[in-house]
Amino acid sequence: MKLLSAHRCFGGVQQFREQASRETGTLMRHGLFLPPEPKALLVYLAGLTCTEETFAIKAGAQALAASLGLALLTPDTSPRGTELPGQAERWDFGVGAGFYLDATEAPWAAHWRMESHLLQELIPAVQRELGLDRVGRTGLMGHSMGGHGALTLALRHPGRFASLSAIAPICAPTECPWGRRAFAGYLGSDETRWAAHDASRLMAAQQAAPFPAGIRIDQGLADPFLAEQLLPERFEAACAAVQQPLALVRHEGYDHGYYFIATVMEAHLRHHAERLR
């Protein structure tokens, strides 16, 4: 890990660092908030257009995380610096829009390997560094595209995460424009392959509740993307079908942005801290 900067913050340190990734073939950046006494690790996956800095600057999480002993790991949202054709033509595909999967289609397959980067490289390295590589010490959460990533990665890798939550997640990407565009570009036109990255379909395929202590989702009802892109009712129905405890908390008047994220952040940090003790 190359340390890029470090800032004292609520008795701990907010770091920004860089890692040479074999999976993506690029330098990948991440943020890491270290509380005075790290007791557990919470990984936060950000949404479209965000970077490793967005959560640290906007979410207002460090003060409570410091008191709860939660280290906060915030990866970037895609590889950067690859200069692939078309990588920056859209805000919802390419740079800043990795969708937390391993692409199989050219030219993306060479570098857009966010799932393997996170699960094989970054998260294990930080767990070992902090001495938090024991089972039950790592939680996963995310927002929007990152909420999709949190739900799908937790379901695709059983046992890797002891707690799970999301804020305004993309719950059924095979059924919404954001997900269909990304999946077609990264995974190809065969839609049967897309289901392995759809949180609602993954949950519906479970034989038993994968998170018996419960999953938390917060959703603003004034979110402009709610009806067309997010579809939380699909995930809610899938959880009910397999008896997965789910707290889907709907908030009147709140939109999709970081003002909403900051509003519900305390509830999410406490959700994870209780399950990562």
**What are the pLDDT digits (tens) for 167-178?**
999 999 999 999
Alpha-helix residue ranges (DSSP H) falling in the chain = 54-58, 62-68, 114-116, 123-130, 145-156, 177-187, 199-204, 232-241, 258-275
Q: Which one-letter amino acid corresponds to residue 10?
A: F
Nearest to 137 by CA among 63, 212, 43: 43
Which pLDDT score, from 0 to 100, does residue 225 have? 98
The residues, any chain, with a CB within 8 Å of residue 245's CB and separated by 6 or more, are 209, 211, 212, 213, 214, 215, 239
Query: Phi/psi class of residue 64: alpha, beta or left (left: φ > 0; alpha: ψ in -120 to 50)?
Result: alpha
Q: What is the average pLDDT across 261-266?
A: 98
Band (86; pLDDT cuts 50, 70, 90)? confident
252 band by pLDDT with thresholds 50, 70 and 90: very high
Q: What share of the chain is helix, strand, coil (3-state, %, to 5)?
A: 40, 25, 40
Domain boundaries, position 245:
2-275
pLDDT of residue 202: 98
Q: Give the model confidence (pLDDT) of 26-75 as tens digits.
A: 999 999 999 999 999 999 999 999 999 999 999 999 999 999 999 999 99
Bridge partners of residue 31, in order along the sequence: 16, 74
CA distance 254 to 97: 24
Report pLDDT digits (tens) over 161-212.
Answer: 999 999 999 999 999 999 999 999 999 999 999 999 999 999 999 999 999 9
277, pLDDT greater than 90: no
Which amino acid is located at 76 in the chain? D
Whether residue 262 is predicted with pLDDT greater than 90 in this model: the reply is yes
Token pair recorded at residue 261? 């994220």
Confirm if 168 and 223 have CB atoms less than 8 A apart. yes
Q: How confident is the prediction for the chain on average, in pLDDT?
A: 97
The confidence score (pLDDT) of residue 164 equals: 98
Name the 3-class secondary structure at 248: strand
Distance CA 20, CA 230 (A): 33
Dihedral pair phi/psi, residue 7, rounded to 5°: -140, 125
**Residues designated catalytic:** 144, 223, 256
The C-alpha torsion from 187 through 219 and 167 to 249, rounded to 10°, is -120
DSSP lists the bridge partners of residue 234 as: none
- CATH number for the domain spanning 64: value is 3.40.50.1820
Number of domain units in the chain: 1
pLDDT at 135 > cutoff 90:
no
